[in-house]
Amino acid sequence: MKKLFTIAQITDLHVGRVIPFPSGKIALYDQLVTAVQSVNNLDPLPDVLVVSGDLANHGNEDDYRKVHALFKTLKMPYYIVVGNHDQRSSLRTIFSEHTYLNTGSEFIQYTVEDLPLRIVVLDTLAVGSHRGLLDTERLDWLDKTLAENREKPTIIFMHHPPFETGMPYPDSLGMDGKEALAEIIEKYHNIEAVVSGHTHREASLRWHGTVAYTTPSSSFSYKLEFHDVDDLDPLMEPPAYRVFRWDPETGLVSHLCFTGKYEYGITEGVPAPPEN
Ligand SMILES: [Fe+2]
Ligand SMILES: [Fe+2]
């Protein structure tokens, strides 16, 4: 098995939504097209892509079909995580060749083995709510699953972040069960990262013996607001995704990547350092 390994993560696609901005409407499907092109243009290609929830804004099958068709152009295998905008049954129907979605349980929790990093995926969907939930059944599965392999480096993906970001509005749409999750995570010393989306912003912190991330949406962002607000308005900061590079000598390095074209990048190379 090769040792160097990269995982890309895109999140919060919200296909089906069209957002009116003063400069014009943006169809989030088009944003996903750009993100897929960007991931496909990475060199070397990621070994695997994780799509961490909110694939379709309304969870309807037509939008999932569009995502499914577009994902046929991906040059690497991909894995789906369920988000609060998603419908488990529709995901299972449209992405039917993704047999790992049929877990034998209501919840879409699974592992990906036979890779240099063990991938563990959690289902934080609470039907009818934008808040997330990890209840006893889902947490017991996690504890049992992590106990199966305490040595292999492991990365956990889930839609809702397991930590407070300090932004009152996103935190009000946070996750129940995160304290119990933290108690489980603390028992294991091979968890390289706990990775989520949902907030549509980048954040990271040291968290119960590992590192936790939220990754920005590949479609649209929300403003950084550390004060109370009545609602969140979409903001077009550059859409982004994350790439994790695993090297057993170094560990897990996280790279935030932006999609789209940026015309005013550095064109003159790196300036020479001052001589004195
Ligand atoms: Fe989202
Ligand atoms: Fe979400």
φ/ψ of residue 213, rounded to 5: -130, 150
pLDDT for residue 47 is more than 80: yes
pLDDT for residue 271 is more than 80: no
pLDDT band at 272 (very low <50, low <70, confident <90, very high): confident
Largest CA distance in the chain: 68
Low-confidence winner among 106-120, 161-175, 226-240 (lowest mean pLDDT)? 226-240
β-bridge mates for residue 255, sequence order: 243
Q: Which ligand is nearest to the CA of 81?
A: 2
- 195 assigned to some structural domain: yes
What is the 23 CA–ligand 1 centroid distance (Å)?
Answer: 22
Structural domain count, the chain:
1
What is the 134 CA–ligand 1 centroid distance (Å)?
Answer: 18
For residues 196 and 157, the answer to whether their CB atoms sit within 8 Å is yes
Q: Which ligand is nearest to the CA of 28?
A: 1
pLDDT band at 2 (very low <50, low <70, confident <90, very high): low
What is the 198 CA–ligand 1 centroid distance (Å)?
Answer: 4
What is the 264 CA–ligand 2 centroid distance (Å)?
Answer: 32
- 273 assigned to some structural domain: no
- 203 assigned to some structural domain: yes
For residues 197 and 54, the answer to whether their CB atoms sit within 8 Å is yes
**pLDDT number for residue 266:** 60
- 53 assigned to some structural domain: yes
Query: What is the CB neighbour count within 10 angstroms for residue 242?
Result: 25
| CA distance readout (Å), 137 to 91, 93, 130, 144 | 21, 24, 20, 11
Q: Which ligand is nearest to the CA of 126?
A: 2
Q: What's the pLDDT tens digit per position in 95-117?
A: 999 999 999 999 999 999 999 99
- 127 assigned to some structural domain: yes
pLDDT for residue 36 is more than 80: yes
- 199 assigned to some structural domain: yes
pLDDT band at 263 (very low <50, low <70, confident <90, very high): confident
pLDDT band at 21 (very low <50, low <70, confident <90, very high): confident
Kindly state the tokens that stand for 38: 């960007």
String of DSSP letters for 10-72: E----BT-EEEETTEEEEHHHHHHHHHHHHHT-SSPPSEEEE-S--BTT--HHHHHHHHHHHT
**pLDDT number for residue 265:** 62
Contacts of residues 254-263 at CB distance under 8 Å and 24 or more positions apart, as own/partner, are 254/193, 254/204, 254/211, 254/213, 256/202, 256/215, 256/216, 257/38, 257/42, 259/31, 259/34, 259/35, 259/37, 259/38, 259/218, 260/34, 260/38, 262/238
β-bridge mates for residue 125, sequence order: 132
What is the 203 CA–ligand 1 centroid distance (Å)?
Answer: 15
Rounded to whole angstroms, how far apart are CA atoms 178 and 183? Answer: 9
- 43 assigned to some structural domain: yes
* CATH assignment at residue 121: 3.60.21.10
Percentage of the chain beyond pLDDT 70 is 97
Calculate mean pLDDT across residues 81-99: 98
Calculate mean pLDDT across residues 233-250: 94
What is the 12 CA–ligand 1 centroid distance (Å)?
Answer: 4
pLDDT for residue 236 is more than 90: no
Low-confidence winner among 48-52, 99-103, 180-184, 260-264 (lowest mean pLDDT)? 260-264
Angle 28-40/61-71 helices, nearest 10 degrees? 20
Rounded to whole angstroms, how far apart are CA atoms 29 and 5? Answer: 29
- 264 assigned to some structural domain: no
Calculate mean pLDDT across residues 226-251: 93
Kindly report the pTM of this predicted structure: 0.95
What domain range includes position 240?
5-225+233-258
